[in-house]
Chains A and B, each alone.
Chain A
Amino acid sequence: MQQPTLSHQTILHADMDAFYASVEARDNPELHDKPLIVGGNATQRGVVAAANYIARTYGIHSAMPTKTALKLCPHVMLLPPRIKHYAEISQHIRAIFARFTPLIEPLSLDEAFLNISGSLKLFGSAEHIGRSIQQAIKKELNLPVSIGIAPNKFIAKIASDIDKPHGFVCIAAEEVQSFLDPLPIERIWGVGRVTTQRFAKANLHTMGAVRCLTKEAATSLLGKHGGHFWKLAHGIDERPVVPEHKAKSISHETTFSVDIKDREILSAWLLDLTEQVMRRVRQKKFKGRTIHLKLRFDNFTTITRSHTLKHSTDVTQVVWQAVQQMFEKHLPPQQSIRLVGMGMDGFGHVSEKQAELFEAPELKKQRTVDHIVDHIQTRFGSNILKRGSSHKK
């Protein structure tokens, strides 16, 4: 049997525990022991962005419609999200990470991978670094975080999740197999309901069972992704930690707790994601050319489609038109959707501040709109101002 090798990196995954809810509970100590959710309004088809651990005991989880959450626990405290506030705290958290390594790959406001391989000589053991980060976040921000440390991203992410909240799990290279083997295969990224059934049919319930297959058997039993699952079951994940300033693409995606069929609602979500992505593109003074659309259907098949624009742009409206067209073209009628995402790459380094000589007046107007929206969102938070149709979601 082929014996894959493991690379010896030390990767730390830090995941804030119920981040938005924890921030709200910290800022309002009287809510400390009450069920609490942060999310959109129940009457406007809002969803739960975060639920504290007390709320979770009622069966509430994030991405659930707020309406459902209120049904499960009528006395739950519902607070509107304060994204700007969370973003500021997130900056502070990143500053704490940066004390230990420059190789930080933030996944969102509350989650990041750190490559601490090069920091061990300077700061001591991986465990020491992890504990220091956890303590600093507790002491300086009074917020809980779970930390997973492992030889790669895949295992580090599982490790941070396995003992939440306040988790601290450190997996050494030689412990990888004994850690992974007993885990249910749902732990493998990308394994959804359909694939789980496929595994179950083949009588594969744990990572260990997948590991014991040959690579060829995994491929023939589990289809084209079999080789990928087999690698993960062996604890192999070669993706590097990519610091944000080197990121080659900017993207956002969102998973729904219930599959959505209503095209208008999906379109509203996509517009929201497009606005977020374009705002980041402009913040980085990038202009991109290639736009990506990602759709995951209710049967867990995922499609990604790309479109390359004639010119690089940072104008939301231009990108949104392209996204809309791709969405209309690639979404079959009556198809339920589990996840939507959009992203942009193909960046050049033309400053967004450089004025154009021959700009069409319409584009000039759109650019001014973006400029004003960015300014307002930076000052008052991203929920204060949105394009008309993204309200429908």
Chain B
Amino acid sequence: MHITVPRTSFLQHVQRCQNIVEKRSPNAILSNLLLRASNETLEIVATDLQIGVSSKVHIHIQDEGEITISAKKLFDIVKELDVDSDVELKTESSFMEIKSGRSKFRLSTLPAIDYPGIPEQDTDFSIQFEGKDLATMIGATSFSMSTDETRKYLTGTLFEISPEQGLQLIATDGHRMALVGTLLDQNVEACRAIVPRKAVAEIKKICEETQGQVTLSLGKRQVRLDAGEHSLTSKVIDAKFPVYQDVIPSDNPEEAVVDRIRMDQILRRSMIVANEFTHDVRLQFSNNSIQVSAHNTEQEQAEEFVEADYTGKDVSIGFNGRYLRDVLSAVQTERVRIQFKDELSPVLILEDGSDASKYVVMPMRI
């Protein structure tokens, strides 16, 4: 293999792929990237056996061929090269020579034939979607995914497509849940997949960098994203997602509307003296105000009022303050609606003027 590629675009593609490479894999070849040069195209492939990413770039090829090389070393080297230079890559027996300007490196390689590669596409249904919008939807839900490996089915985000609801993303750690949805202007079939945490993060990054539409495909075993030069394939979590519809309260009688930024500031201040592990804060809803208070085991306290549109009965509810702050950061509108029943029932937080995003937070007993 012998190719020449502009440093800037090469770096971008290498970076995209090396993100998913396991830093310390017992299988040495999994620390490598696969470079495949043919038909005036360089394809860079990375996989951790769960997720595979492929990135294609148009280049000038002197000699076609394929080889694998350490992802980290290649990335670290290309990163340090002159910004405007070209990078020349040439295989020499079991090594690869990297030249750029006056710099010259020689890295060891492993044969491409041993590389596991990316599985064939195995999905049932695809939709086209604006990349930036998908990134926003992921950003508005992914914080609710669980990190508890004992509840595997909660460690991903549910991607659900249905004719009635369009595309919905749902994430929950068992204490709070985030749901965002958007209707689709294309005919769709019902399908769903739990996409693992790491793939969710990579899909978001690719979507953020993509101008225009992406193709999202869901299958029983696989999820796939095609976005311009990049494509990502991931195994899905083979488990049953909880019946999330059952925990979205539909008849919470009370509603308080409050300024989002102001509420967040008050929570941030109050939590300075909240219990450092449980972050519990108390929200006391009363006529036209919410009193936010927190205290810790050393008897330190915080207390502050925020104006709110509220005319219901007096209710006091405990929360993990972090859960509330996560929701307030995810929501886009100036004001938010907080709907509740009593101190122990699920609380629903909605954007002002739209029910497309739903955030359910379970209270804490106080």
Question: Which residues does A use to contact B, with CB under 8 Å?
Answer: 285, 289, 310-312, 349-351, 353-358
Q: Which of B332-366 contact A (CB under 8 A)?
A: 344, 346, 360, 362-366
* 17 more A-B residue pairs beyond the given contacts A350-B175, A353-B280, A354-B362, with a C-beta to C-beta distance below 8 A: A310-B150, A311-B148, A351-B277, A351-B278, A351-B280, A351-B320, A353-B278, A353-B365, A353-B366, A354-B320, A355-B344, A355-B362, A355-B363, A355-B364, A357-B242, A358-B174, A358-B247
Does residue B177 face the partner (Cβ distance < 8 Å to A)? yes
- Contact yes or no, A353 B176, CB < 8 A: no
Contacts of A312 in B (CB 8 A): 150
Contacts of A355 in B (CB 8 A): 175, 344, 362-365
Contacts of B176 in A (CB 8 A): 357
Known: A285-B278, A311-B151. A354 touches B364 (CB 8 A): yes
Which residue of chain B has the shortest Cβ distance to A351 in the bound complex?
Answer: B278
- Contact yes or no, B150 A354, CB < 8 A: no
Does residue B172 face the partner (Cβ distance < 8 Å to A)? yes
Contacts of B278 in A (CB 8 A): 285, 349-351, 353-354
Which of A289, A350, A355 has the most chain B CB atoms inside 10 A of its CB?
A355
Which residue of chain A has the shortest Cβ distance to B323 in the bound complex?
Answer: A354
CA distance A350 to B320 in the complex (A): 10
Question: Which residues does B use to contact A, with CB under 8 Å?
Answer: 148, 150-151, 172, 174-177, 242, 247, 275, 277-278, 280, 318, 320, 344, 346, 360, 362-366
B135 → A minimal CB distance (Å): 26
Known: A349-B277, A351-B278, A351-B364. A311 touches B175 (CB 8 A): no
Which of B151, B175, B360, B363 has the most chain A CB atoms inside 10 A of its CB?
B175
Show 27 residue pairs from A and B whose CB-CB distance is below 8 angstroms, ordered by the A residue: A285-B277, A289-B150, A310-B150, A311-B150, A311-B151, A349-B278, A350-B175, A351-B275, A351-B320, A353-B280, A353-B318, A353-B364, A353-B365, A354-B175, A354-B320, A354-B362, A355-B175, A355-B344, A355-B363, A355-B365, A356-B174, A357-B175, A357-B176, A357-B247, A358-B174, A358-B242, A358-B247
Which of A312, A351, A353, A354 has the most chain B CB atoms inside 10 A of its CB?
A354
Which residue of chain A has the shortest Cβ distance to B318 in the bound complex?
Answer: A353
Contacts of B148 in A (CB 8 A): 311
CA distance A355 to B365 in the complex (A): 7
Which residue of chain A has the shortest Cβ distance to B360 in the bound complex?
Answer: A357
CA distance A349 to B346 in the complex (A): 22
CA distance A381 to B364 in the complex (A): 26
- Contact yes or no, A357 B364, CB < 8 A: no
Contacts of B366 in A (CB 8 A): 353
A236 → B minimal CB distance (Å): 37
CA distance A356 to B320 in the complex (A): 12
Which residue of chain A has the shortest Cβ distance to B364 in the bound complex?
Answer: A353
Contacts of B174 in A (CB 8 A): 356-358
A147 → B minimal CB distance (Å): 30
- Contact yes or no, B318 A357, CB < 8 A: no
Contacts of A311 in B (CB 8 A): 148, 150-151
Which of A350, A353, A356, A358 has the most chain B CB atoms inside 10 A of its CB?
A358
CA distance A311 to B363 in the complex (A): 20
CA distance A361 to B362 in the complex (A): 16
- Contact yes or no, B175 A356, CB < 8 A: yes
CA distance A355 to B320 in the complex (A): 10
CA distance A358 to B174 in the complex (A): 6
Contacts of B318 in A (CB 8 A): 353
Which residue of chain A has the shortest Cβ distance to B246 in the bound complex?
Answer: A358
B188 → A minimal CB distance (Å): 27
A244 → B minimal CB distance (Å): 14
Which residue of chain B has the shortest Cβ distance to A349 in the bound complex?
Answer: B277
The 10 closest A-B pairs by CB, nearest first: A351-B278, A355-B362, A349-B277, A353-B365, A353-B364, A358-B242, A357-B247, A354-B364, A311-B150, A310-B150
CA distance A351 to B365 in the complex (A): 10
CA distance A353 to B275 in the complex (A): 12
CA distance A353 to B277 in the complex (A): 12
A255 → B minimal CB distance (Å): 34
Which residue of chain B has the shortest Cβ distance to A358 in the bound complex?
Answer: B242
Which of A285, A311, A351, A357 has the most chain B CB atoms inside 10 A of its CB?
A357
B295 → A minimal CB distance (Å): 14
Contacts of A285 in B (CB 8 A): 277-278
CA distance A354 to B278 in the complex (A): 8
CA distance A285 to B363 in the complex (A): 16
Which of B172, B177, B278, B318 has the most chain A CB atoms inside 10 A of its CB?
B278
A373 → B minimal CB distance (Å): 15
Contacts of B277 in A (CB 8 A): 285, 349, 351
Which residue of chain A has the shortest Cβ distance to B175 in the bound complex?
Answer: A354
CA distance A354 to B347 in the complex (A): 13
A245 → B minimal CB distance (Å): 10
Contacts of A351 in B (CB 8 A): 275, 277-278, 280, 320, 364
CA distance A310 to B153 in the complex (A): 13
B155 → A minimal CB distance (Å): 13
Which residue of chain A has the shortest Cβ distance to B278 in the bound complex?
Answer: A351
B225 → A minimal CB distance (Å): 28
CA distance A372 to B247 in the complex (A): 25
B6 → A minimal CB distance (Å): 49
Contacts of A354 in B (CB 8 A): 175, 278, 320, 362, 364
Which residue of chain B has the shortest Cβ distance to A245 in the bound complex?
Answer: B297
CA distance A356 to B275 in the complex (A): 19
Contacts of A357 in B (CB 8 A): 172, 174-177, 242, 247, 346, 360, 362
Contacts of B175 in A (CB 8 A): 350, 354-357
B35 → A minimal CB distance (Å): 43
Contacts of B364 in A (CB 8 A): 351, 353-355
Contacts of B360 in A (CB 8 A): 357
CA distance A262 to B318 in the complex (A): 47
A167 → B minimal CB distance (Å): 35
Which residue of chain A has the shortest Cβ distance to B344 in the bound complex?
Answer: A355
B246 → A minimal CB distance (Å): 8
Contacts of A356 in B (CB 8 A): 174-175, 362
B283 → A minimal CB distance (Å): 15
CA distance A354 to B366 in the complex (A): 9
CA distance A234 to B200 in the complex (A): 59
CA distance A289 to B275 in the complex (A): 23
A300 → B minimal CB distance (Å): 37
Contacts of B151 in A (CB 8 A): 311
Contacts of A310 in B (CB 8 A): 150
CA distance A358 to B318 in the complex (A): 19
CA distance A355 to B172 in the complex (A): 13
CA distance A312 to B147 in the complex (A): 13
Which residue of chain A has the shortest Cβ distance to B151 in the bound complex?
Answer: A311
Contacts of B344 in A (CB 8 A): 355
Contacts of B280 in A (CB 8 A): 351, 353
CA distance A285 to B296 in the complex (A): 13
CA distance A358 to B148 in the complex (A): 15
